[in-house]
């Protein structure tokens, strides 16, 4: 009876040792202690085997405590302040290339304004950086050194080129009310015909500042 019982336990031990050693490199260093040829001290071997098994079992995750004695409540406020604001962008205006001003040249630009919803605003266009420009008499200046020639042009709020676009709010600016999205305004440019002598070949330009007032 003793021999049979021991053989069965030894067989199970061998199977356990082989499976555990294959699954865990760390276990291969510990298992020889109790997986070698059995001795007469079987209780000690069983205890060693049990302790090794426990070391290989992952710890159980901590469980959150649950309470049922009662509840307590409070409230707090979440706030966000939206202030009035606007941004403005614009695309370039290009009259192209020409060797004559016998006919008028036209071009357009787009000014896009984005303001907070319900915010009223005005959009103005400066006279420009070239020469002695004014909003009613804008000019383009040449880039070449020593070239003092200018070419007159205008910026308008309408396709008929009749209403000059300037910077005086309520007079020659464009008005709008923000809706939270970009709102586009077309700038109509015109280089009128000229009987004056054609200036020297060059690139004539000016820089306009678009301003949104809100």
Give the model confidence (pLDDT) of 85-100 as tens digits.
Answer: 999 999 999 999 999 9
Give the containing element (helix H, strand E) for 54: helix 42-56
pLDDT at 4: 37
pLDDT at 54: 56
Taking the CB of residue 31, how many other CB atoms lie within 10 A of it?
Answer: 20
Residue 86, classed as helix, strand or coil, is: strand
Give the model confidence (pLDDT) of 62-75 as tens digits.
Answer: 788 999 999 999 99
Of 56, 73, 95, the one marking the end of a domain is 56
Asked whether residue 77 is assigned to any structural domain, the reply reads no
More confident residue, 54 or 78: 78
Q: Would the CA dihedral through 193, 199, 202, 203 be positive or negative? A: negative
Give the model confidence (pLDDT) of 29-38 as tens digits.
Answer: 544 554 454 4
Domain residues for the domain of 108 are 86-213
Asked whether residue 120 is assigned to any structural domain, the reply reads yes
Give the model confidence (pLDDT) of 171-180 as tens digits.
Answer: 999 999 999 9
The pTM for the full model equals 0.69
Give the model confidence (pLDDT) of 182-202 as tens digits.
Answer: 999 999 999 999 878 889 999
Q: b/e for 158-196, b at 16 or more Cβ within 10 A?
A: eeebeebbbbeeeebbbebebeeeebebebbbbbeeeee
Domain count, the chain: 2
What are the two backbone dihedrals, phi and then psi, of residue 56, each rounded to the nearest 5 degrees? -85, -10
Cβ atoms of 157 and 165 closer than 8 Å: yes
């Amino acid at each position: 009876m003793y021999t049979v019982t021991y053989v069965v336990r030894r067989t199970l031990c061998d199977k356990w040792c082989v499976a555990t050693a294959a699954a865990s490199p760390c276990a291969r260093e510990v298992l020889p202690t109790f997986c070698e040829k059995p001795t007469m001290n079987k209780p000690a071997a069983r205890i060693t085997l049990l302790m090794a098994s426990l070391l290989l079992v992952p710890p159980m995750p901590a469980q959150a405590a649950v309470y049922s004695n009662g509840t307590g409540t409070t409230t707090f406020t979440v706030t966000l302040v939206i202030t009035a604001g606007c941004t403005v962008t614009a695309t370039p205006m290009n009259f192209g290339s020409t060797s004559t001003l016998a006919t008028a040249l036209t071009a357009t630009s787009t000014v896009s304004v984005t303001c907070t919803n319900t915010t009223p605003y005005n959009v103005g266009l400066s006279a420009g950086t070239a020469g002695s420009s004014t909003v009613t008499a804008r000019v383009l200046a040449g880039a070449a050194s020593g070239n003092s020639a200018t070419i007159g042009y205008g910026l308008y709020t309408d396709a008929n080129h009749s209403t000059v676009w300037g910077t005086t709010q309520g007079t020659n600016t464009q008005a709008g009310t923000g809706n939270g999205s970009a709102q586009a305004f077309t700038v109509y440019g015109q280089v009128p015909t000229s009987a004056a002598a054609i200036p020297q070949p060059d690139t004539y330009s000016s820089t306009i500042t678009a301003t949104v007032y809100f």
